Amino acid sequence: MTPTLKALQRCLAAEHAAVYGYGVVGGVLAVTTNQSSAWEKLAVSAYDAHRAARDELVARISGLGATPLASLPAYGLPFQVHTTADCRRLARLLEDRCAAVYADAVADTASTNRQFTALGLRACAERAVQWGGAVVAFPGASDL
């Protein structure tokens, strides 16, 4: 397996987890806020963005002649999610984790795949800030 393929598969695994996590976030927000809340709108937007990224990764991996990783039937949550604050915390964590995977992928990809992973990193970092996360100089690179 090439470094590019490994990187794209790792991104796909992260996107599968993010889509699942945003399903939880959206479900809790639907119960705890009114349907026109800014948080619920952000959750729907993020969910759609991660689904689109997942679908693009499936296409890219298939285009390389490989079988895309399948989503797990369920993912463990790092904490209980019952409140809007919990939803915001989980969403920031999902974005930070995806950003870290995309940051690693930038180093292992080239050309259009590098551009895709760099844009994915930026999008995750921007969404993390929208959920209340801190602006960081190098998103996804906590060890710098």
Listed by start position, the domains of the chain span: 3-71+80-130
pLDDT at 144: 44
Architecture of domain 3-71+80-130: Up-down Bundle (1.20)
pLDDT in tens, 116-137: 999 999 999 999 999 998 887 6
Q: Please, which pLDDT band fits residue 140 given cuts at 50, 70 and 90?
A: low
What are phi and psi for residue 11, nearest 5 degrees? -65, -40
Dihedral angle computed from the Cα positions of residues 11, 61, 122 and 39, in that order, rounded to the nearest 10 degrees: -70
pLDDT in tens, 47-80: 999 999 999 999 999 999 999 999 999 999 999 9
Axis crossing angle, helix 3-32 with helix 38-63, rounded to the nearest 10: 160
pLDDT at 35: 66
120 close to 102: Cβ distance less than 8 angstroms: yes
